[in-house]
Amino acid sequence: MGKIIKNFSEYQQQYSSSIKNPEGFWDEIAENHFWRTKWEKTLEWRFDGEGSPEVKWFINGKLNITENIFERNYHEKKNQVAIIWEPNNPEEEAIRITYHELFEKVKQFANALLKTGVKKGDTVAIYLPMVPELVIAMLACARIGAIHSIIFAGFSATSLADRILDASSKILITADGGFRGSKEIPLKKIADDALSDCPVVEKAIVLKRTDEDVPMKEGRDIWWHDLIKSVGSDNEAAEMDSEDTLFILYTSGSTGKPKGILHTTGGYMVYAEYTFKNVFQYSEGDIYWCTADIGWITGHSYIAYGPLLAGATIVMFEGIPTWPDAGRFWQIVEKYKVNQFYTAPTAIRSLMAKGSEWVKKYNLDSLKVLGTVGEPIDEDAWNWYHDIVGNNRCPIVDTWWQTETGGIMISPLAGITPIKPSYATLPLPGIQPALVDPEGNEIMGNNVEGILCVKFPWPGMMRTIYGDHKRCFDTYFSLFKGLYLTGDAAKRDADGFYRIIGRIDDVINVSGHRIGTAEIEDVINLHPLVNESAVVGYPHDIKGSGIYAYVFCANLFDKEPELLEKEIKAIVNVFIGPIAKPDKIQVVSELPKTRSGKIMRRILRKIGEGDATNLGDISTLLNPAIVDEIIKGAKVVVRK
Ligand code: WT7
């Protein structure tokens, strides 16, 4: 169904027709979906000028995305397993949910939300662990036209509160707690802390997962199981316009607070399903497993929407790769005979470090496709994944994309596109990348490097930043007129294949999580002794990037530096979450600044990398002598 590419020449043909006639190309794909009313016009767009960006796909089309997951495929799919849920603890029983059962649960919870007072267009904050109810909650929102705003359950109370307030969510869906490896995360307690700052939240729906004793606030908190008790499962989906908001998802940028990236219904649906089917070459009966958390875009598009629209059977895993031991992923692959496996380089690197024996213990013959996403994968990790996990016979799809792009943009199609270690290879049909120089001129030809931009809209792209359209323009469309700025640099080799080099802005990628350095600095600066700080990324074997914080304190009084470090880590933990905790903290007597007062991060990055052999021109610094002092006190051996 819908253009599934089967060989490389088909890819080339489809790519060229998608560029010559994008509207016709996407029309044909969208026709495979169920629309209550067909769209009148395929595309209107503007990346530049008054009010831009303005991007509308499938204009005036009416639909509901859950009707495309459930009603559209009901007869063929109702008895097929939709979700195989594998709990954190291998001793606990797994759960299988068919499409019919999932449909019933989604409709029932949709009714429960309506009963709670949620209306079409409201935003619902979801802060849940990786349990099936997370999928049920998100689809129930979509069913009634409420906008889900899912917040990764590893975020702190402050981060949760910021996101609830920014999106004015009146409802929060959470759980008593969550299991992750040997830890129990007290989600309700964190949520309670967050809610004390969020008077906007009228109701909190609480799922029982860990059975921990949690206080329930009278009039506000209600147990999930109590709420659904008296609710039936007859529910007709709300009719949505193609351009009605489906969800918002917060992500970090180089400045300011996280942005609520907003995706709409029609285009996102078409793009998520199309890219899932083509990249992973999913076929009927396959078992597909994406190890991401639904709190990130990968989970939205390639655990939930893409695969479920395609009628796939997915594995959903509550736990972590290294618990109870480093064989956990491979044990699950063997147990369910997983065919497509999609994970992040950071997981691959950490498992590689534990040794190949863990992989060899299990039978992984079922695997057909291996995927990676989230950060550049180095050749070592790529080769280990390919040779040891894939036994030299599974293509690797290195998928480059972003929260903002909604779906995969540059990637091999499994088994179709020739692959090369550390290359994301070629753009998917409909995607028009451009490499540009710092002045914004497109760099033509091959064997070149530049800033990666996109020239033409695709259906799955973000439409705006929630509540701040100007910020959307300023962040993504203002640097180079008429181009979407990705924030990454890339190389195009002699064959026209793309290799993603990494971010060009102050965004770092820690264990596949995207974090703005400014966000961490703002939090570190909250420490009463810290006057100023500068955070940079440095190469880290497992995490990809580690976090190195330089802090300037005018007066330490009697504070021991070790204690200060501890406190700074604790503050970051509380205000953002454990993923943003600095690995290294160096107290400096001054930060290297130019005469105009700008911190020269380039120097701090170099020192953090342990390489001061080529610091470049430091003569514009107010106090060049500080550089040597920082090198001496560095938390790493620095070559000079
Ligand atoms: C940033 C987007 C897309 C889902 C996960 C991350 C980096 C993503 C790759 C890849 C090299 C990659 C980029 C991008 N990135 N995929 N295959 N190779 N880098 O989504 O949190 O929005 O982060 O992740 O730097 O801009 P995100």
In the chain, the amino acid numbered 247 is F
List Cα–Cα distances, 208 to 85, 122, 182, 188, 218, in angstroms. Answer: 16, 24, 19, 10, 17
Pocket perturbation via mutation, ligand 1, pick of 509, 513, 519 by most ligand atoms within 8 A of CB? 509
Alpha carbon of 509 to ligand 1 centroid (Å): 8
For position 256, what pLDDT does the model report? 76
For position 1, what pLDDT does the model report? 45
Provide mean pLDDT across the span 182-186. Answer: 97
The per-residue pLDDT for range 229-249, each reduced to its tens digit, is 999 999 999 999 999 999 999
- Helix, strand or coil for residue 175? strand
- Helix, strand or coil for residue 329? helix
Of 256-260, 308-312, 407-411, the one with minimum mean pLDDT is 256-260
- Residue by residue, DSSP assigns 55-116 as EEEEET-EE-HHHHHTGGGHHHHTTSEEEEEE-SSTTSPPEEEEHHHHHHHHHHHHHHHHHH
Provide mean pLDDT across the span 38-64. Answer: 97
Cβ–Cβ < 8 Å for 29, 4: no
Read off the pLDDT band of 2 (50, 70, 90): low
Q: Which residues of 269-303 are buried (b: 16+ CB within 10 A; e: fewer)?
A: bbbbbbbbbbbbbbeeebbbbbbbbbbbbbbbbbb
CA angle 60, 65, 69 (to 5 degrees): 145
**Does an H or E element contain 165, and which?**
helix 157-166
What residue's CA is closest to ligand 1, atom 13? Answer: 375
d(CA 431, CA 408): 10
What residue's CA is closest to ligand 1, atom 12? Answer: 375
d(CA 358, CA 324): 12
Q: Is 374 near ligand 1, meaning CB less than 6 Å away?
A: yes
Atom of ligand 1 nearest to the CA of 411: 17
Predicted TM-score (pTM) of the model is: 0.94
For position 247, what pLDDT does the model report? 98
- pLDDT of residue 255 exceeding 80: no
What number of CA atoms fall less than 13 Å from residue 6's CA on the CB side?
4
Cβ–Cβ < 8 Å for 205, 173: yes
Mean pLDDT over all residues of the chain?
96
Phi, psi of 270 (to 5 degrees): -60, -45
- pLDDT of residue 615 exceeding 50: yes
d(CA 149, CA 408): 21
Alpha carbon of 512 to ligand 1 centroid (Å): 7
Domain with CATH 3.30.300.30 in the chain: 507-632
Provide mean pLDDT across the span 131-138. Answer: 98
- pLDDT of residue 538 exceeding 90: yes
Domain with CATH 3.40.50.12780 in the chain: 62-68+261-503
More confident residue, 461 or 618: 461
The per-residue pLDDT for range 462-521, each reduced to its tens digit, is 999 999 999 999 999 999 999 999 999 999 999 999 999 999 999 999 998 999 998 999
What residue's CA is closest to ligand 1, atom 21? Answer: 514
What residue's CA is closest to ligand 1, atom 2? Answer: 402
Q: What percent of the chain has pLDDT over 90?
A: 94
Q: Is 259 near ligand 1, meaning CB less than 6 Å away?
A: no
Q: Is 299 near ligand 1, meaning CB less than 6 Å away?
A: no
What residue's CA is closest to ligand 1, atom 5? Answer: 374
Q: Is 249 near ligand 1, meaning CB less than 6 Å away?
A: no
Atom of ligand 1 nearest to the CA of 513: 21
202 alpha carbon, distance to own chain's centre: 28
- Residue by residue, DSSP assigns 183-233 as EEE-HHHHHHHHHTT-TT--EEEEE-SS-------TTTEEEHHHHHHT---
Name the residue among 593, 596, 626 with its Cα closest to residue 612: 626
**Does an H or E element contain 174, and which?**
strand 171-175
d(CA 366, CA 468): 46
Atom of ligand 1 nearest to the CA of 503: 25
Pocket perturbation via mutation, ligand 1, pick of 377, 397, 401 by most ligand atoms within 8 A of CB? 401
Name the residue among 166, 92, 27, 8 with its Cα closest to residue 317: 92
Q: Is 190 near ligand 1, meaning CB less than 6 Å away?
A: no
Provide mean pLDDT across the span 178-202. Answer: 97
The per-residue pLDDT for range 356-410, each reduced to its tens digit, is 999 999 999 999 999 999 999 999 999 999 999 999 999 999 999 999 999 999 9
What residue's CA is closest to ligand 1, atom 17? Answer: 400
Alpha carbon of 60 to ligand 1 centroid (Å): 32
What number of CA atoms fall less than 13 Å from residue 322's CA on the CB side?
11
Phi, psi of 66 (to 5 degrees): -70, -25
For position 257, what pLDDT does the model report? 84
**Interhelix angle 625-632/601-609, nearest 10 degrees:** 30
Find all residues with CB under 8 Å of 583, minimum gap 6, and list them.
540, 543, 546, 547, 548
Atom of ligand 1 nearest to the CA of 344: 5
d(CA 551, CA 567): 13
Pocket perturbation via mutation, ligand 1, pick of 400, 404, 508 by most ligand atoms within 8 A of CB? 400
What residue's CA is closest to ligand 1, atom 8? Answer: 374
Report whether CATH 3.30.70.1560 matches the domain 507-632.
Answer: no
- Residue by residue, DSSP assigns 31-69 as TTS--SB--SEEEEEESSSTT--EEEEEET-EE-HHHHH
CATH topology of domain 62-68+261-503: Rossmann fold (3.40.50)
Read off the pLDDT band of 596 (50, 70, 90): confident
Cis peptide before 459 (omega within 30 of 0): no
Read off the pLDDT band of 287 (50, 70, 90): very high
- pLDDT of residue 579 exceeding 70: yes
Alpha carbon of 619 to ligand 1 centroid (Å): 35
Alpha carbon of 374 to ligand 1 centroid (Å): 4
Q: Is 401 near ligand 1, meaning CB less than 6 Å away?
A: yes
Alpha carbon of 298 to ligand 1 centroid (Å): 10
For position 334, what pLDDT does the model report? 98
